[in-house]
């Protein structure tokens, strides 16, 4: 019988699904993915957690709940560090334990620990251990890992070329849903990034360029972000996100700080935002954070301080929680876009 492994469509699904999915399917397992986030999933997650948790974690718990009876094993990695310089937010360190407690051990969990910085165990070794825990041999697991890395690199190349990760996922995993994708117009960026717009012509944005900066699970989960990508695309705005940046640019930006940011996603967020604040890449930056997020409160302050210094690019910061309303988001977006349009008419715009 085929082993069914459940992957919640939340948190780092939005970054690492290509490597996870390919590894398991190459080893003969079936991946069961939870449905798209919605109100019902959030309700299930809120019921299973405490009020103080951030919105993305509540949504994650909702996804876990929907998978409990649909799979043999839940895949919930303990992400501590996957590179030498950074750590993940502490919530990721204890995620499998929190799930076990919240759901009374309702399903067995596959919980590899990724801790390159602390324990010096490479990502490949962790995947080999992961293969062992589903009774696969070392050689088989290494072969599956290599295929998985290829898939992840392919995904990253698509994003580096300017494709929004959600669109890249459609092409890689749901090709029938991507038939109607419009062509990606060139962004003409010195970074060599594409920037993706889903809507041709018209629209209030008039072809403006905006960077959406934040954790992938806040930006690419359309329920959490209240469909901000679609809202901007419908206004004919071309988008850039932090995943499109090369690591060299992020490293350069970190060197300018008194102390580099040591959260994995935070490093990319601050690096990308600080770079764009002083460049002509985009007309505006929108930072999206979660209301009860400790790291975000610091990241937001760092970016806002930089923006107040001498930057040339306007910044809008948004914080979402489960009570955020769509009307409030639209009002703030419209006001920001109006302000950018006025700047553009006056000749202060991205090149």
Between 87 and 145, CB nearer to ligand SF4: 87
- Residue 196 three-state SS: strand
Between 6 and 289, CB nearer to ligand SF4: 289
237 lies in the site for ligand SF4, by CB under 6 A: no
CB-based contacts of 123, cutoff 8 Å, min separation 6:
82, 114, 116
Identify the CA nearest to 227 among candidates 8, 37, 66. Answer: 37
Site track 66-95 with ligand SF4 (rule: CB under 6 A), x = hit: -----------------------x-x----
Per-residue exposure over 107-140, b if at least 16 CB sit within 10 Å of its own CB, e if not:
bebbbbbbbbeeeeeebeebbbebbeebebeeeb
Between 56 and 198, CB nearer to ligand SF4: 56
**Smallest gap, in angstroms, from Cβ of residue 218 to ligand SF4?**
7
8 A C-beta contact, residue 270 and residue 302: yes
**Smallest gap, in angstroms, from Cβ of residue 42 to ligand SF4?**
14
Which residues ranging from 292 to 321 are in contact with ligand SF4 (CB under 6 A)? 293-296
Identify the CA nearest to 127 among candidates 165, 75, 84. Answer: 75
Question: Residue 196: what are its φ and ψ, rounded to 5°?
Answer: -120, 130
- The residue within the footprint of ligand SF4, chosen from 31, 290, 315, 337 (CB under 6 A), is 290
Which residues ranging from 208 to 227 are in contact with ligand SF4 (CB under 6 A)? 215
Between 215 and 242, CB nearer to ligand SF4: 215
8 A C-beta contact, residue 10 and residue 95: no
- Paired tokens of 236: 């004919």
Which residues ranging from 15 to 74 are in contact with ligand SF4 (CB under 6 A)? 54, 56-57
Between 109 and 261, CB nearer to ligand SF4: 261
**Smallest gap, in angstroms, from Cβ of residue 344 to ligand SF4?**
33
Helix residue ranges, H only, 174-227: 216-219
Which residues ranging from 142 to 181 are in contact with ligand SF4 (CB under 6 A)? none
Chain residues binding ligand SF4 by CB under 6 A are 54, 56-57, 89, 91, 215, 290, 293-296
């Amino acid at each position: 019988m085929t082993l069914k492994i459940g992957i919640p469509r939340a948190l780092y699904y939005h970054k690492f699904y290509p490597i996870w999915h390919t590894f398991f399917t190459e080893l003969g397992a079936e991946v069961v993915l939870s449905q798209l986030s919605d109100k019902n999933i959030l309700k299930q997650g809120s019921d299973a957690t405490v009020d103080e948790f951030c919105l993305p974690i509540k949504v994650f718990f909702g996804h876990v709940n929907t998978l409990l009876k649909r799979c043999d094993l839940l895949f919930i990695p303990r992400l501590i560090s996957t590179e030498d310089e950074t750590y993940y937010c502490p919530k990721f360190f204890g995620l499998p334990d929190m799930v076990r407690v919240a759901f009374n051990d309702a399903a067995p969990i596959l919980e590899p620990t990724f801790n390159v910085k602390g324990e010096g165990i490479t990502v490949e070794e962790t995947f080999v251990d992961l293969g062992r825990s589903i009774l696969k041999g070392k050689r088989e697991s290494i072969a599956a890992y290599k295929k998985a890395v290829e898939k992840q690199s392919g995904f990253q190349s698509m994003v580096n070329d300017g494709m929004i990760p959600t669109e890249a996922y459609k092409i890689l995993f749901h090709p029938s849903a991507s038939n109607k994708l419009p062509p990606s117009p060139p962004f003409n960026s010195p970074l060599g990034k594409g920037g993706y717009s889903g809507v041709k012509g018209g629209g209030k944005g008039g072809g403006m360029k905006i960077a959406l900066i934040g954790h992938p699970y806040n930006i690419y989960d359309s329920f959490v972000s209240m469909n901000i990508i679609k809202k901007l695309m419908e206004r004919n705005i071309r988008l850039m996100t932090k995943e499109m940046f090369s690591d060299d640019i992020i490293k350069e930006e970190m060197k300018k700080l008194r102390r580099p940011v040591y959260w994995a996603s935070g490093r990319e967020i601050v690096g990308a935002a600080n770079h764009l604040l002083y460049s002509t890449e985009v007309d505006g930056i929108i930072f999206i954070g979660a209301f009860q997020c400790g790291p975000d409160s610091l990241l937001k302050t760092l970016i806002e301080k930089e923006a107040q210094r001498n930057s040339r690019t306007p910044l809008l910061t948004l914080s979402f929680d489960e009570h955020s309303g769509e009307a409030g988001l639209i009002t703030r977006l419209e006001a920001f876009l109006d302000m950018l349009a006025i700047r553009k008419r006056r000749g202060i715009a991205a090149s």
